[in-house]
Amino acid sequence: MVIYLKNIFNDAGDITLFAARFFKEVLRPPFEIKEFIRQCYTIGYKSLPLVGITGFIMGMVLTLQSRPTLAEFGAESWLPGMVALSLIREIAPVITALICAGKISSGIGAELGSMKVTEQIDAMEVSAINPYKYLVVTRILATTLMVPLLVVFADAVGIYGGYIGINIHADVNLFRYFSQVLASLEFLDIIPATIKTFFFGFFIGMIGCYKGFTAANGTESVGKAANSAVVAASLTIFIIDMLAVQITDLFF
Amino acid sequence: MHKEPGYTWKLGMFVIIGLVLFVLTIYFVGKEKNLFGSTFHLKTKFKTVSGLEVGNNVRFSGINVGTVKNIELTTDTSVMVILLIKDDVQQFIKADATASIGSDGLMGDKVLTISPGTVSLPPVKDNDMISSKSAIEMEDVMGSVKASVDNAGIITAQLAEFSYKMNNGNGALSKLISDEAFSSSLKSTLTNLQTSSSEFAKFTTKMNDGKGALSKLVSDEKFGKTLDSTMSNLQAGTKGLSENMEAAKNNILLRGYFNKKKKAEAKEAAALKKKADLKKKNDLKKSGAGKKITDEKEGGVLNATDSSMQQ
């Protein structure tokens, strides 16, 4: 029991040190700009179709599902505002983050894990390249910056999906739809949701890197690293989301 | 390491589109909230703002032209509301414009409405004070609704009483409605009336067109004329007869008869006079005695009432 608890505390301490090391290294030159851009491309651009399709479906389905309830109150004109609010405040950030956790976190975990297992990381260290800086910092920075952008895309595509969802039953002009959406939005809806996504991105990258970087020797630990990265990242996303919403609620 | 980064433009496009979308959203939402663009301030005072909140829309001629920037209590009975309004509409809001608080739909947000003032007056300036009209409070509406509901209650109670009487009472109206016998008798009366009126109608037609004496009397002009001449003949005839009578009185043969008749008449008149005098005397005596009797009776009645009052 004591050993179990000690292990948990050990892990927590390790993660904290890992994260602290990121903040130390990110500000210190030399910067691996080329690798950072490559990571941004794989993480951001390559995830766009997945995030776009999910966002579109979420927006359309949310519209179709909310419609009967709102129609009962004769409040169908609130549908655009409601869909846009729920997409921007909650659904798009969380769904995008979960998809990124599945796609990016597991990818990073598996990549770094296999590098660790095949001792490539050790080889880097021997050849005077800081493996943390080259592999971890670039990836964490890329996820931290790309996930918010992906969320913006998901918002946009999702709201357009809502427009199509409304036009299945009613006939609403695109301009009218977007003016209704914008009329219902406030900065309080956008800013906390956007800040939240930076934390999502950071933790997706950080957990993936940590799991891969600390993988044990042996091929099976690669799979383990990828798997636990997804699980931990998804769980962390929900915990961060809860905290973020509570803090927003507290201050505004 | 990666000599030919053919993906850079894709990444750049991805990042730029994302950022542009974000910035556009921020810009449009900001425009909606009047944080960007040129604006000016207006102030107005209300006794109560009935739930108006900072950020509610300000409407002018039905168009959203601004938002409520601040609401603060100035004294215990007045609330200062500061409005943030687009510069474009400043020229249309005149100095005597009034502000009022309304509701956007039944359950919607509160809305502050500015009614335009007189055209000839100059437009408002920044930080001007405009007058306000107090809104209709929900409680006032409820109060008047309650009064009318109370009245409706009284009316329905009376209506119920009326219909109860109608069903169970003995008045003419209730009998008219509920009593079968009454209705049948009414029906027979009406049929009788109908037959009699039809008879009357036959009578009048006969009267107008018939050849009987009565109808001729009424409608025949010729008959009238002959009747007239008959009457004048009759008059002449009676005149002649009275002359004959006078002549007969003076006739020797008949004078005796007439004198005898005169004497008998005078005698009879004298006897009648005597009789009348006697009767008068008797009446006087009788009435004196009667009076005494009635007086006694009255006294008894009076005594009786006195005693009953004492009891």
Where chain B has pLDDT below 70, the residues are 1-5, 32-37, 105-108, 135-137, 210, 285-311
The CA distance from A184 to B289, in Å, is 115
| 3-class DSSP state of B250 | coil
Residue numbers in A near B9 (CB within 8 A)? none
pLDDT for A160 equals: 92
Give A54's pLDDT tier (boundaries 50, 70, 90).
very high
| Partner residue opposite A149 with nearest CB, options B8, B15, B32 | B15
- Subunit contact A183:B18, Cβ cutoff 8 A: no
At residue A188, does pLDDT exceed 80? yes
Yes or no: say if A103 and A50 are a contact pair by the CB < 8 Å rule.
yes
Q: In chain A, positions 22-51, which contact chain B (CB-CB < 8 Å)?
A: 34-35, 37-38, 40-41, 44-45, 48
pLDDT for B8 equals: 79
Domain ranges of chain B: 1-32, 39-136
Question: What is the average per-residue pLDDT within A214-228?
Answer: 85
Q: Measuring CA to CA, which residue among A40, A90, A120 is closest to residue A197?
A: A90
pLDDT for B181 equals: 80
Look up residue A137 and give its DSSP letter: I
Number of A to B CB contacts under 8 A, please give it.
Answer: 60
Report the interhelical angle of A33-43 vs A138-169 (nearest 10°).
Answer: 30
Domain ranges of chain A: 32-251
Residue B122: cis peptide before it, omega within 30 degrees of 0: no
Give A240's pLDDT tier (boundaries 50, 70, 90).
very high
Neighbours of B83 (CB within 10 A): 23
Entry field: residues in chain A: 252
Interface of B with A (CB under 8 A): 1-2, 5, 7-8, 10-11, 14-15, 17-19, 21-22, 25-26, 28-30, 32-33, 55
- Subunit contact A41:B32, Cβ cutoff 8 A: no
Question: What is the average per-residue pLDDT within A60-85?
Answer: 87
- Subunit contact A38:B5, Cβ cutoff 8 A: yes
Burial A146-178 (b: 16+ CB within 10 A, else e): bbbbbbbbbbbbbbbbbbebbeeeeebeeeebb
The CA distance from A112 to A222, in Å, is 8
β-pairing verdict for B98-103 and B110-115: antiparallel
ipTM: 0.72
- Subunit contact B25:A34, Cβ cutoff 8 A: no
Provide the shortest C-alpha distance from residue A8 to chain B (in Å).
39
Beta bridge partners of A203: none
Inter-CA distances, B101 with A103, B83, B85, Å: 53, 13, 16
pLDDT for B207 equals: 76
- pTM to 2 decimal places: 0.58
Burial A3-41 (b: 16+ CB within 10 A, else e): eeeeeeeeeeeebeebbeebeeeeeeeeebeebbbbbbb
If one compares A98 and A119, the residue with the highest pLDDT of the two is A98
Beta bridge partners of B123: B94
pLDDT for B303 equals: 52
pLDDT in tens, B137-176: 677 788 899 999 999 999 999 999 888 887 777 777 777 7
Residue numbers in A near B5 (CB within 8 A)? 34, 37-38
Q: Measuring CA to CA, which residue among A52, A65, A48 is closest to residue A155?
A: A52
Residue numbers in A near B1 (CB within 8 A)? 34-35
The CA distance from A71 to A92, in Å, is 24
Quote the percentage of chain A above a pLDDT of 90. 42
The CA distance from B77 to B47, in Å, is 6
pLDDT in tens, A108-130: 999 998 888 888 888 888 888 88
Provide the shortest C-alpha distance from residue A191 to chain B (in Å).
9
Residue numbers in B near A190 (CB within 8 A)? 25-26, 29
If one compares A215 and B294, the residue with the highest pLDDT of the two is A215
Write the CB contacts of B56 (distance below 8 Å, at least 6 apart in sequence).
Answer: B67, B68, B109, B110, B111, B112
- Subunit contact B18:A35, Cβ cutoff 8 A: no
- Subunit contact A152:B15, Cβ cutoff 8 A: no
Residue numbers in B near A48 (CB within 8 A)? 14
